[in-house]
Amino acid sequence: MKRRRRCIVFGILKHTVLIIMALIVLFPITWIILQSLKSYFDTIAVPPKILFSPVWKNYVDVLSRVGFFSSFRDSLVVALGSVGLALLIGTPFSYVLARFDFKGRDNIAFFVLSTRMMPPIVVIVPFIRIFHILNIADTHVGLILAHVLVNLALVVWMMRGFFSSIPREIEEAAIVDGCSQMGAFWSVTLPLSAPGLVATALLSFLFSWNEFLFALTLTSLKVKTLPVYMASEFVGYLAVQWGPLSASGVLAILPTLAFIIFIQKHLVRGLTFGALK
């Protein structure tokens, strides 16, 4: 009986700690939502207002800015383009890594992984120069290429794990039935790893959507992704427009928050590049 009571006390204690932690985690997200619904003077009121009459003004303001729309579009184009390209070249490659044994396989795989560990700053100055020569400075194409570099390691290592987990026998059966190796990959293995492909695509999308350093340095006037837009647009000489800033922040994180919840089962694999499942 005494032991049981101790258990309950411990249970309550654990939940209390967890709830406090959860509140700390949730607070900034809640606060940016609240700020986005406040009028200008409410956003900088002292003491800060927790109760206030909500207004939609900031959202109307943000949505009517040409800059926000074009940034949203730029972010979308760059994210979709780089994810598409990374998947297109990375998926077949990861299949080869998972299925074939050839000389130098592990070295190549580790080299791909190490590109992710590489501090991006070291290639930025060369990129600026090369992009300038190729005439793709400040364009979607240039930033898409840079983001392929961000996402390729993720795609290769994550998909390699998914492909390895599909039994080779299924493919062999298809080949016995008259499929070519290519056909077996295309019509058997790839459909079977569709959930993994979706998770990989969403996580890469998230990385590209949130990426800041390449976007800040490789694009400036013609192309401006959301993070770059947000870091500069609302911070004026004298004051920060907290309301519109918060509203655009909320609009920018809604898709990524949805993604992260949607792929939570695959997150561990994704964040450790397939090292853990």
Partner 1 sequence: MKKRFCKFPYIFTLPVTITLFALVIYPLIYAVFISLHSTAMGIQQAQFVGLRNFIDILSSPIFSNAVKNTAIFTAGTVGLTFFLGFVIALLLSSITRGTDIYRVIFILPLGVSPVIAGLTWGMMLNPLFGIVNFFLEFLGIRGLGWATDIKLALPTVIMIDVWQWTPFMMLILYAGLQMLPKECFEAAMIDGASFWQKFIYITLPLLRPIIVIALIFRLMEAFKSFDIIYTVTKGGPGHATETMIVRAYLEGLKYHKLEYGAVIGLIMLFITIFISQRAVKRLLE
Least CB distance to partner 1 at residue 242 (A): 6
Contact 109, 102 (CB under 8 A): no
Contact 89, 154 (CB under 8 A): no
Measured CA to CA in angstroms, residue 191 lies from 34, 60, 162, 187, 195 at distances of 43, 43, 12, 6, 9
Least CB distance to partner 1 at residue 85 (A): 9
Interacting positions 90-129 with partner 1 (CB under 8 A):
90, 92-93, 95-96, 100, 102, 106, 108, 110-115, 117-127, 129
- How many residues bind to partner 1 according to rule CB under 8 A? 92
Interacting positions 216-275 with partner 1 (CB under 8 A):
216-217, 226-227, 230-231, 240, 242, 245-246, 249, 252-253, 256-261, 264, 267-268, 271-273, 275
Q: Where are the alpha helices (DSSP H) in 100-193?
A: 105-117, 121-134, 140-164, 168-176, 181-184, 190-192
Least CB distance to partner 1 at residue 243 (A): 11
Q: Of 205, 247, 219, 232, give the one whose Cα is nearest residue 35.
A: 247
Q: Which is nearer to partner 1, 65 or 212 (CB)?
A: 212
Contact with partner 1 (CB under 8 A) among 2, 28, 53, 191: 28
Contact 201, 216 (CB under 8 A): no
Residues in the chain: 277
Q: Which is nearer to partner 1, 76 or 113 (CB)?
A: 113
Q: Which is nearer to partner 1, 70 or 217 (CB)?
A: 217
Contact with partner 1 (CB under 8 A) among 6, 48, 187, 239: 48
If binding is defined by CB under 8 A, does position 141 make contact with partner 1?
Answer: no
- DSSP annotation of 122: H
Interacting positions 52-81 with partner 1 (CB under 8 A):
none
If binding is defined by CB under 8 A, does position 25 make contact with partner 1?
Answer: yes
If binding is defined by CB under 8 A, does position 178 make contact with partner 1?
Answer: no
Q: Of 184, 166, 172, 196, give the one whose Cα is nearest residue 91.
A: 196
Considering only the C-alpha atoms of the chain, give the largest distance between any 2 of them, rounded to a whole number of Å.
78
